[in-house]
């Protein structure tokens, strides 16, 4: 599967069809990732923030072209490397919710790359973005099709979110936690299963429009269950096109099975990953041996 990407302009969806707009722009000004607080909300009497996982990940490929080449098994990607000052992809070891990152979107069998906001915003939201109070960074695959929030995107707007690895905290006691980085054993790019929307509105009194997404989660494999009771849906290379283009029911079935543990590794890291302002390769440096199955 060859992924098409056209920086620095991207094709976006609107009621009139697909059109071109400069990506990563806000009111004609260049902008980059902005931190935003995750608000804990109670749904059905439970604090659902305890269910959240995959709240940070890393993507530090030097350019879009390098990332897409790896996703395409080494084939040359038909794009030019993107300069950071163009407001496009910026390598990051600490991508957090409400920041921009790369994603591969599919609509009506057309596949393309774009910069997207991590935290799905429903198209019907009329309030300013800063008033969105529910956490929408993760969508549980169980019941995703029947959900009024997730269902429409699951049926028509699925995406892949590339990452070098993701981070998770293991609870070792009431006040004790250990941070882990989790990646592919062969150091290849992993791709999370995601769903996307396109939203127009205002954010902090400024016009804003762009893609937004959520990452699907499922039950853990044998490796991840030693850290957390959920894990992101990781789509194997041979299943990427199926995830993007298959009927929604088939995509849900694919997403319900966690990636086999033997393909992954997890290693303990320092607590610095907890601060969204921290960056650099040092965040992913191991402080002990890999977690063993």
H/E run at residue 252: helix 248-255
Q: Are strands 25-26 and 17-22 parallel, antiparallel or unpaired?
A: unpaired
Q: What three-state secondary structure class fits 13?
A: strand
Contacts of 224 (CB under 8 A, 6+ apart): 168, 182, 230, 231, 258, 261, 264, 266
**Which segments within the chain are labelled E, that is strand?**
9-14, 17-22, 25-26, 29-30, 42-43, 46-47, 56-59, 92-95, 100-107, 110-118, 138-140, 158-163, 165-173, 176-184, 190-203, 206-218, 231-232, 264-269
- Return d(Cα 42, Cα 46) in angstroms, integer: 5
As beta bridge partners, residue 14 has 17
Is 54 part of the annotated catalytic residue set?
yes
How far apart, in whole angstroms, are the C-alpha atoms of residue 87 and residue 22? 9
CA torsion sign for 35, 37, 43, 48 is positive
Q: Which residues pair with 114 in a beta bridge?
A: 103
What does the CA dihedral 252, 255, 257, 258 come to, rounded to 10 degrees? -160
Select from 122, 160, 233, 120 the least CA-distant residue to 5. 160
Cα dihedral 15→19→22→24 (10° resolution): 40
Q: Which of 24, 54, 106, 159 is catalytic?
A: 54
Q: Is 106 a catalytic residue?
A: no
Work out the angle at residue 65's Cα, subtended by the Cα atoms of residues 63 and 69, and round it to the nearest 5 degrees. 125
| Enzyme catalytic residues | 54, 168
């Amino acid at each position: 599967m060859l992924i098409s990407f056209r920086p620095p302009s991207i094709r976006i969806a609107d009621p009139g069809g697909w059109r071109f707009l400069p990506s990563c722009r806000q009111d004609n000004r260049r902008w980059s990732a902005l931190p935003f607080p995750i608000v804990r909300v109670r749904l059905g009497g439970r604090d659902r923030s305890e269910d959240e996982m995959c709240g940070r990940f890393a993507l530090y490929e030097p350019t879009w072209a390098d990332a897409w080449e790896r996703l395409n098994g080494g084939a040359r990607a038909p794009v030019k490397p993107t300069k950071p000052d163009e407001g496009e992809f910026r390598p990051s070891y600490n991508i957090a919710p409400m920041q921009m990152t790369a994603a591969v979107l599919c609509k009506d069998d057309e596949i393309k790359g774009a910069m997207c906001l991590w935290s799905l915003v429903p198209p019907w939201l009329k309030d300013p973005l800063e008033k969105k109070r529910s956490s929408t960074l993760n969508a549980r695959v169980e019941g995703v099709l029947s959900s009024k929030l997730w269902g429409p995107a699951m049926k028509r707007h699925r995406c892949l979110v590339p990452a070098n690895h993701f981070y998770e905290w293991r609870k070792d006691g009431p006040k004790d936690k250990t941070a882990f980085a989790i990646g592919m054993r062969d150091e290849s790019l992993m791709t999370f299963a995601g769903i996307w929307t396109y939203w127009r509105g205002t954010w902090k009194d400024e016009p804003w429009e762009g893609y937004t997404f959520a990452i699907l989660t499922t039950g853990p494999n044998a490796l991840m269950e030693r850290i957390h009771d959920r894990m992101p849906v990781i789509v194997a290379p041979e299943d990427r096109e199926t995830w993007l283009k298959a009927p929604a029911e088939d995509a849900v079935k694919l997403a319900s099975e966690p990636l086999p543990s033997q393909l992954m590794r997890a290693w303990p890291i320092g607590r610095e990953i907890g601060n969204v302002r921290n960056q650099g390769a040092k965040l992913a440096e191991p402080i002990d041996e890999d977690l063993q199955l």
